[in-house]
Structure 1
Amino acid sequence: MEKSALPQVVVTRRPPGKAVEMLGEVASVWAFPKNRVISSSELADRARRADGLYCMLTDRIDRRFLENAPRLRAISQMAVGVDNIDLAAATARGIPVGNTPDVLTETTADTAFGLLIAAARRFREGYEEVVDGSWGEWDPMGLVGQDISGTTLGIVGLGRIGQAIARRAVGFGMRILYTKRSRDHQVEKELGVEYRTLSELLGEADHVVVVTSLHAGTHHLIDREALAMMKPTATLVNAARGPVVDTEALVEALTDRTIGAAGLDVTDPEPIPADHPLVALPNCFIVPHIGSASVRTRIRMAERAAQNLVAALENRKMPYCANPEVYDIGP
């Protein structure tokens, strides 16, 4: 096929692995050459002539964007979450939206559990003592934190990542509670987890890990009222999306010790400014949204996103589609 006759694909940031090469086998590919987020104006201009879009969670794909991309027939994102994409608008236009579930499950669960340990055991404060030279004589109660092993863990959202966290918690001898929209008796049997309503879970758990998806029903799910239900020694970990937790309420809860500590892979806003009150709190351990940031996982995510887009450009169903109902829409 002549290059001019090939589908046109826009890649908003060059991914790792062989993703671009995979796309190049079926399309003419333009990849943004700079190692930063592409501007919305340049992306919109490029998308006007694109048949396929390979994007990142930093790209805003809304209804207006789609209306100005008349040729666009497939979108694939190098992420599991697609809250930056107007799925309803894409579906209405018959555009499948690919994502990358499964490949980042274990890596993200590792990150969440690492944040739990780091926050509960006060790693940030200990590190700062070493760095600023204030590490002094041994104190029998110096930098004591909360145990992980033998305690009760509450998981908000028991999907793939939540279940992976539960498996890790089993190894720590933890009692595991969970909450989700529908009770899962099979998982309860397999992992020995116990179902609770959100309010029950918050009141019982020594530590709470949030891994639910972000949608209208989970925006600020963890608000002032929810935080007030938690134990004053409890640790909160957010490995979901920043807006699931009310940031202002979290600052207050950590400041007045309504809860003991927090470990955050995600924030709202994101990136969080260095002078934000949350950053200054010694009982808050924040990392810059690196839940899936291992070499192996990022390559697998990149290539899975390419696999989705290749399938769509070849008029096949995407193997991993965030809006599968799009295939039920007639021509």
Structure 2
Amino acid sequence: MRILVIGRTGQVATELLPRLAAAGHEAVALEPPEFSMTDAAQVAAAFDHARPEAVVNCAAYTAVDRAEDDRALAFAVNATGPRLLGEAAARAGVPVIHYSTDYVFDGSKDAPYTECDAPDPVGAYGASKLAGELLLHNAQPRSVTLRTAWVCSPFGNNFIKTMLRFGKERPELRVVADQHGAPTFAADLAEAAVTLLPRLAAAPAGDPVFGITHLTGAPYTTWHGFAEAIFAGAARRGQPAPKLTAITTADYPTKARRPANSRLDCSRAATVLGIPAKDWREGLERCLDALFSQQELPNSGAGCSASPAPSAGSATMKEPN
């Protein structure tokens, strides 16, 4: 299949492109500065050039705090962009895979969120992502949106790399322990897309495969619990393991509110899509092996706390992009 991939260097796209090639697909990957998904003419030209049989949108505006002051750009990328892709895909008669976020919910539910729960975003980032979901599916019903959370990989900026970098610099880290969710590895999100593509290409409108589906890792944990697992793995590899102190969200205020509950019920992914949630602890081991095989841990401090007490809230979902 010929696949148009929006995004090229983000975590999910980086994992996706080699998997598409290995599966025998031909991918055309586009991202700024040579391509803008918010420009209708450029989107149309991309479809004319690539002649895709499916589209995977890995791009997003993910600067959660900055979105509060830059709503126009967040909505342009996260809402207008998916709408234009959906309209072009509908004209071409091809399906779309799109990634969204737990931030479409306010995080107040005391159980995992299902796809039937009413979204209620509390910030600009979540509102822009929700708008993108609605606009995409209205434009092209033959679309799949995979809502995910806490995305990590050996690439880009994410919580694992932030913790490891600070762990080398500081003897103690304070990490939020009252936000609940599940780490999700970009490799698993990429594999989900590769698995779905042949089925989507053959599925007619109305097939249950289309629609919104939650897909994260398993089991659930907290940012503090995730940090403990990261440094336990680092210690097994001879790396520094600082003391971790559990703090509350109130101890580390941020411009944009983070959901206290980012747990997503992924049973639909398993039963309808045939894609069960992957154990993030296994993904973490692979990620740490990849990171420590490098000469030097890449600087991943962008968007993270510069205080002596970094918290998980400063490094929540930086992807998909």
TM-score (norm 1): 0.35
TM-score (norm 2): 0.36
Greater relative contact order (Cα < 8 A, sep 6+): 2
